[in-house]
Amino acid sequence: MHRKITVKALTLVFLLFSIATFANDDKKSKGKKTHQTQKTKEQRAQEVEEYIPHHLEDSHDFSLFSYTSDEGKHVYVGFPLPVILWDGGLKIFMSSKLHHGESVAHVGDNYYKLDHGKIYKTDAAGTIKYDAEHHATNIKPIDFSITKNVFTVMFVGLLMFLMFSRMAKAYKKNESMPKGMGRLLEPIVIYIRDDIARPNIGEKNYKRYMSYLLTVFFFVWIINLFGLTPLGVNVTNNIAITFCLAILTYLITTFTAKKDYWKHIFWMPGVPVPMKFILMPIELLGTIIKPFSLMIRLYANITAGHIVLMSILGMIFIAQNWLGGSLSFVLAMVLGILELLVAALQAYIFTMLSALYFGAAVEEHDHH
């Protein structure tokens, strides 16, 4: 009974959406044409194409959404973040002074302007000079700002600390029985321990790496879930973030590896001596390629998912009819559900491969 009601409700919502879209298009065609309706399909497609990379970029403020007022001004809804620059000294101010690149920030005796997501030193008029390839030639100060991605990383880190500290306290109170959030998190923790860490690292050494494996799994998973919200947070499609995660895996693998691991890289047993000199640089390069593949896999999958999802949503504005809008809406909804699976899958893959690398580093070989 409940299933039938749910199906009918979804069908009704879909029909209402289609009718509303059709009515809106019909009203626009009969009434006076606005500036938006006068745009050609090619112009709308170009706007969507330019908006997608802009939406995926990091920013110096946390903008929730923006709209164009009746006066033609861009209105941004959100909050500013601290801008921290090193330019002959520390310069700290709020990003509201930059006003999304529309104004010049006057800090002390210097002037700064935001251009294509980067802050440049300029004059009072905000002049940005470009070379033949349209690259800004102004001085660019060293930027340590708390950007949207940095803010999200800090927020997710705090959220994880609160989640797991409360879970640990609940275990102590209830004699190792899960309660509240622990009931949701315990099966995941046990799965990572019994199905990822133990089989790949070994019973003797897996406990050393459990804290990192749990941290990286929940961090990537929660960050990916935030990326699917309308907040416009796209942390793991920033290659600097995935690079840092991959570097952590590489450093832990390198500095916890046993002598057998290095022996099989630099002087493989059972291999003729001439071949050892040939294989040694290949094996050494493999230790760098492994974390590099971690970085690219996470970055590429998340970025591709966001681009495809936003491209499908952009088709609604390009088509501007009831059929194209309805189909795009359904496709976006289906892809959004698939992205929920990808968010968890990428966290699982990163954790699994990290465990495999740790297992190879601490594996003990029998020498006969």
pTM: 0.80
C-beta separation of 126 from 102 below 8 A: no
Q: By CB neighbour count within 10 A (0-12 exposed, 13-18 middle, 19+ buried), where does 366 fall?
A: exposed
Distance separating alpha carbons of residues 352 and 156, to the nearest angstrom: 21
SS3 call for 131: coil
Contact (CB, 8 A) for 130 and 137:
yes
DSSP tag of 238: S
User: Residues 364, 256: contact at Cβ < 8 Å?
Assistant: no
Report pLDDT for 283. Answer: 83
* Phi and psi, residue 202, nearest 5°: 110, 150
363: exposed, middle or buried (C-beta count within 10 Å: 0-12, 13-18, 19+)? middle
**Cβ 66 vs Cβ 74: under 8 Å:** yes
Q: Can you tell me the distance from the alpha carbon of 119 to that of 252, in angstroms, rounded to the nearest whole number?
A: 35
Cβ-count burial of 288 within 10 angstroms (0-12 exposed, 13-18 middle, 19+ buried)?
A: exposed
Q: If you ran DSSP here, which 8-state letter would residue 363 be given?
A: P
Walking along the chain (368 residues) 10 residues at a time, the average pLDDT comes out as 44 42 42 49 68 74 74 75 91 88 87 88 89 85 91 93 87 76 86 94 92 95 88 84 94 90 80 80 86 89 82 74 74 84 92 94 69
**Structural domain spans, the chain:** 66-146, 149-362
Give the count of alpha carbons within 13 A of 333, CB side only.
8
Q: Helix %, strand %, coil % for the chain, to 5?
A: 65, 10, 25
Displacement of CA 134 from its chain's centroid (Å): 28
- 3-state SS track over 202-225: CCCCHHHHHHHHHHHHHHHHHHHH
User: CA torsion 82→86→88→91, rounded to 10°?
Assistant: 0
So what's the pLDDT on residue 85?
Answer: 93
Q: Which two tokens stand for residue 256?
A: 């916890």
d(CA 359, CA 351): 12
Residue 33 burial by Cβ neighbours in a 10 Å radius (0-12, 13-18, 19+): exposed
Torsion on CA atoms 105, 110, 113, 117, rounded to nearest 10: -110
Spatial distance between the Cα atoms of 301 and 239, rounded to a whole number of angstroms: 12
Instruction: Give the distance between the most distant pair of CA atoms in the chain.
Output: 88
pLDDT at 222: 94
Q: What is the pLDDT of residue 268?
A: 78
